[in-house]
Every structure is written in C-alpha cells, then in structure tokens.
Chains A and B, each alone.
Chain A
Amino acid sequence: EVQLVESGGGLVQPGGSLRLSCAASGFTFSSYNMNWVRQAPGRGLEWVSFINTRSSTIFYADSVRGRFTISRNNAKNSLYLQMNSLRVEDTAFYFCARDQTIRGLKDYWGQGTLVTVSS
C-alpha cells in the first residue's frame, strides 16, 4: 500500500524557518517524481514545488521561489521542504504528492502537516 506521511509542521514566527519531511513507503520511491502542494485553511489547493527522481530538475511556485528548497533522499525514501523567511500567508496544510506520470498527474497524497506562521 502506498503511504506518504508528512511531519515537521508547527507554529513559527514570521521570518522563521521550518523543515518538512515526507516519509514514503509501499512503492519504489526513487522511481517517482514528487511534489509539495499546500492548502490554506478553508481554501483551495496550490502547487508549491516539484523534484524529479534524480533531483536534477526542480521547480517552484513564484510565491515561494527563493525562500523554499525542495530535496529528497532516495536511500531514506524521504522528501523534504526547507522553508525559510516564512510569511503569514504561508500558513497552510502542506501535502506531499506523488506524480504517476511524467506530466505530473498526482496520484497519491499524504495527509498533510499544518504550518502556522504567526506572531
């Protein structure tokens, strides 16, 4: 069974940093491109970042470029999101999501971890 489990969320002050993790199991993690997608409370889904299998191709949404860094460790079946210079508007549930296809069909999602940016 495919499982994606996020961790690392919490309360942080504006300007602070957090590192999110996503532990994958039930599939060959190293064979799949991965993403972070976020959802502000009561709002819709916003794609945040993409990383391919070898970490050679990385994309970011304009809203986080220069502040967030995506990475992965295939040996540990883990995906990461380093979030710096956090803003109030970054408050959201952060989901990791697996890409089923090279075009980015997101077929499995974790349950999410909540990041709250507030003073």
Chain B
Amino acid sequence: GENVEQHPSTLSVQEGDSAVIKCTYSDSASNYFPWYKQELGKRPQLIIDIRSNVGEKKDQRIAVTLNKTAKHFSLHITETQPEDSAVYFCAASRSGGRRGSQGNLIFGKGTKLSVKP
C-alpha cells in the first residue's frame, strides 16, 4: 500500500546548527505534503506545507523542498533553538483527488529532534 518513509528517527543538534529531516513517498499521485510539529503532550501543529507544483517553500527559519521525480521531500530548520525540540511528522496526500481519497494524510513515523543549548 501507499506509505511514507521518514529519516532519521532521532536527531540531536547543537543550538544554532541546522537540522534536516527527509521523507520519501510511494504514491506518485500525491500532491500535497505537510509537516507537523508535536511538542510533548500537545497536538500536532501544521508548521509548513508544499504542493506538487512548487519545488521549495520557506517561512522564516524553516523551509521545505520537494523533488517529484525522486518522490522525496525534506524539512530544513536553520539556526535551531531549544524550542524547536519536538517530534516532527511528514505526510503526503492526494488533495483534491478522486472521490473517496481526498485529503487523507499518510504519515511518516516521526523524527524526534533535540536541540541542545
């Protein structure tokens, strides 16, 4: 079935360094790729997303890149801060696709990011 692979499962960086999380999807019809941040005991929070007609999107210290040919997408966090510590989930979906599948997110297993002061 359709799946999303996410790596690494854990990532530890020093404050100020960059962090990169990578995901690979299997469904070539996927066209929407959100990233969620989940802090301990809180809800998954949508932090950035990208659609298949765009190769890169940036919002302050976070950016996402998409390679449709290779079916890869990545999250980049620059100048990391301790408050960036959380579990990050990537996901893929066929937004606006055929009836019965619109918007259902397929998630990666998550990456636990630790930023050390």
- The judgment on whether A and B are partners is no
